[in-house]
Structure 1
Amino acid sequence: MSKRVLVTGGAGFIGSHVCEMYVREGYDVLCVDNLSSGKLENLKSLIGNPRFQFVQEDICHLEGLMHLFETFKPHVINHHAAQKSVVASLEDPRTDLDINLNGLLCLLQCVKKHPIQSFVYVSSGGALSKVIIGDEKSTESDSPQLISPYAITKYAGEKYLEIYAKEYDFDYTVLRYANIYGPRQIPDGECGVVPIFVNNITTNRTSVLMTYPDMPRGCTRDYVFVGDVVEANRLATEKAPNMVINIGTGKEIAILDIYQSILKIFGKEIPIRIEGPRSGDVKRSVLSNRRAQESLNWNACTNLEEGLLVLKKAMQVETI
């Protein structure tokens, strides 16, 4: 008998890839998404598959969620639904709080009544990074900076999950993502710098690079390909280690270097406009993935050039 997994935010960029993985692995999948940013188009490969079903529902709607738990009876929850923008959290912290914490608590309220076996919770390695000095990498045991409402709600969510897991006897994994890129990503804010650049470059428009005086090539980030992230979700579902785990490459890349790599892959020469820093930005972020290697036997296998080539190929297929 196959396991049943409920994926929140499953019509989104990462969530849709995760849904595909679960179906390939023989799980029965219930995808729950309110389609505020997710797209049904992302699920087109799964529509009609007897192991997959989609329900449009908001994770903050407790009554609707409870009904889904009663009828589907999931063994596993994979929680990707979130307000994911640092800037948006600064502009509207109440909405960030409602989605990222109230939404999680609605799920955990359902778990109290309908027990599960394990829970995969997506957090933020970038927003919860410590201040990086020299060749340091942010580890899971470091004290996070917590300089945005988004970082605060994600960190609080980790702690709520830890408490509920002990109280209601289920296993869990917190996956702190680095900056994810790949097919289906939408160009929205700091979460989507790669698709923003790709979209601008392929349409011959000027992009903007936000810099600090001491960082003329822009902030640095740890970029990991979505296919590698999906594998981390598979491993975390198979054997939840009951801990927080960074999912990143361990390599720090300046945003200007990302831009220039995309120019090379797409064979373009378009200048970029330089502007000042943005409120709430973490200047440097790079994640140690040592715990992921030791606890999940996971490592990032796709380098930036390989990942951008896959993205380019996917875009070409979409336009045929």
Structure 2
Amino acid sequence: MNILVTGGAGFIGSHLVRTLQAAGEQVTVLDNFSTGLFANLPAGTQVVEMDVNSRKLESVFATGHFDAVVHLAGQTTVHISMDNPSLDGEENIIGSIHILEQARRHGVKRVIFASTAASYGDVAEDRLPIVESEPLAPLSFYGLSKVAVEHYLRLYQQAFGLGYVVLRFANVYGERQGDGGEGGVISIFAKRLAEGKSLTIYGDGQQTRDFIYAGDIAAGIYAALRTPHVNHTYNLSTQSETSLNELVHILGKVAGVTLQPDYQEARPGDIYKSLLANGRARRSLDWEPRVGLQEGLRRTYEYFCCQHAAKA
């Protein structure tokens, strides 16, 4: 396949590009490098430095002849969306429309869209783990923007026949992650721990997340590119719930230290408990998560230790 990966120089994109290249697929990365890094990409990767809102976007599609697009580009931080909803809408909704429009005009067969657990909002505990049919009730403008694009995808399919797969990610973590994004708590903790700094938890620490390693997300995206079960939505998750207090404990074990985090007031827009069911993805995508939390944290912590040592 000839695949365009928007936001491919970012955290998840850097894992996906490696997965696709290892499978022998032809990959082009489109990234504006506002948060992505050239250093995240393997040497020799074909890169177009461009924003998804650029007027030159059509030329990329016209010359690229892509079979599929994996759309990862966008604003990924909840608190930024709450502080600046217009920025979030411009990058996540308008930018996505530009990608969909060029895809349908230039014969792209399938678009894989990176959506989010934040689409569901704060679901009652008796409805966990959350299945894909759960009503969507986002608490943040970030989650709302993702829901909006999901609706655009469905209408583009109905109106123009553009195939799609929506993937609602749980909280993704791993090497090369920045400080933002929904799973960013792990990268923040691992980076601060590598630097010998203290950790801060916003809230009581009992809030939970479904943390999934980025390599497993990359494998899920590749499965979505190949599946015959298109025009559907799938959760990509571990279907395992971890509190922030438990996370700190496991991370301390990985680092060989005892951690005592500082607790601060919870932030607006944050979901208290999140746990996604993954049965549909296991059945229809023939996919399952393979990297456990302790192993994933070890890889992530060692990465940030190496980064810190290189700067010292």
**What does the per-residue CA deviation read over 1:75-123, in whole Å, with 9 as the maximum and x for residues that have no partner?**
1000000111111111000000000000010011212321111110000
Shift of 1:312: 3.5
Using the TM superposition, name which of 96-105 and 118-127 deviates more.
118-127
Structure 1 residue 310: Cα displacement = 2.2
- Asked if the contact 1:8–1:79 (Cα under 8 Å) also holds between the matched residues in 2, the reply is yes
User: Shift in Å at residue 167 of structure 1?
Assistant: 2.2
For 1:47-62, list aligned pairs within 5 A: 47-48=43-44, 52-61=45-54
Secondary structure of 2:253's partner?
A: helix
Deviation at 1:309, TM superposition (A): 2.0
Is the contact made by 1:241 and 1:295 (CA closer than 8 Å) also made in structure 2? no
> What is residue 275 of structure 2 aligned with on the other side?
286
- Matched residue type, 2:8: G
Range moving further from structure 2, 245-254 or 265-274: 265-274
Compute the RMSD of aligned alpha carbons.
Answer: 1.7
| 2:10 corresponds to which of 9, 12, 16 | 12
SS of the residue 2:263 aligns to: strand
**AA partner of residue 53 (structure 1):** Q
> Partners in 1 of 2:302 and 2:77 — Cα distance?
27
Equivalent-residue separation in structure 2 for 1:255 and 1:221 (angstroms): 8
Residue pair 1:249, 1:287 contacting (<8 A) in 2 also: yes
Q: CA deviation at 1:129?
A: 4.1
Work out whether residues 235 and 276 of structure 2, in 8 Å CA contact, stay in contact via their aligned partners in 1: yes
Matched, 1:172 2:160: no
CA distance in 2, matches of 1:105, 1:66: 13
Aligned position for 1:146: 138
Aligned pairs (5 A) from 1:258-297 = 258-297=247-286
Matched AA of 1:247: L
User: Quick one: distance in 2 between partners of 1:176 and 1:281?
Assistant: 17
Q: CA deviation at 1:127?
A: 4.1
Question: How many matched pairs?
Answer: 308
* Alignment partners' CA distance in 2, 1:189 and 1:142: 23
Partner secondary structure for residue 9 of structure 2: coil
Uncovered stretches (5+) of structure 1, i.e. residues with no partner? none
**SS of residue matched to 1:131:** coil
Quick one: which amino acid aligns to residue 217 of structure 1? G
Gaps of 5+ in 2: none
Quote the residue 1:223 is aligned against. 211
> How far apart in 2 are the matches of 1:114 and 1:230?
25
Give TM-score, length-normalised by structure 1: 0.92
- Hey, what does 1:98 align to over in structure 2? 90
1:83-122 matches, within 5 Å, as: 83-122=75-114
TM-score (norm 2): 0.94
Q: Does structure 1 conserve the Cα–Cα contact (< 8 Å) formed by 2:16 and 2:215?
A: no
State the 1:220 CA deviation. Answer: 0.6
- Supply the distance in 2 between the matched residues of 1:195 and 1:108 (Cα, whole angstroms): 31
Is it true that 1:196 corresponds to 2:188 in the alignment? yes
| Cα contact 1:130–1:143 (8 A) shared by 2 | no
Check conservation: 1:265, 1:308, Cα contact below 8 A: yes
Residue in 2 that maps onto 1:245: 234
Distance 1:158 1:79 in 2: 12
Give, in angstroms, the shift of residue 205 of structure 1: 1.3
Contact 1:122 1:175 in 2 (8 A): yes
Tell me, in whole angstroms, the C-alpha distance in 1 between the residues paired with 2:91 and 2:73. 8
Return the alpha-carbon distance in structure 2 between the equivalents of residues 6 and 312 of structure 1. 30
How far apart are residue 24 of structure 1 and its match?
Answer: 1.5
Q: Could you tell me how far apart the structure 2 residues matched to 1:188 and 1:106 are?
A: 24
The 3 A distance-change label for structure 1 pair 107 and 190 is: closer
In 1: Cα distance, 2:85 partner to 2:304 partner: 35
Contact 1:125 1:178 in 2 (8 A): yes
Shift in Å, 1:187? 2.0
Q: Deviations over 1:169-191 (max 9, x none)?
A: 23211010000111111123654
Query: How many angstroms does 1:313 deviate by?
Result: 4.1
Distance 1:278 1:309 in 2: 28
Mapped to 2, the partners of 1:127 and 1:135 lie a distance apart of: 15
User: Structure 1 residues 194 and 84, CA, compared in 2 at 3 Å: closer, same or farther?
Assistant: same
In 2, Cα distance between the equivalents of 1:135 and 1:72? 44
Is the CA contact (8 Å cut-off) linking 1:34 and 1:58 kept in structure 2?
yes
1:131 is aligned, of 110, 123, 131, to 123
Runs of 4+ in structure 1 off by over 3 angstroms are 312-320
CA distance in 1, matches of 2:81, 2:184: 16
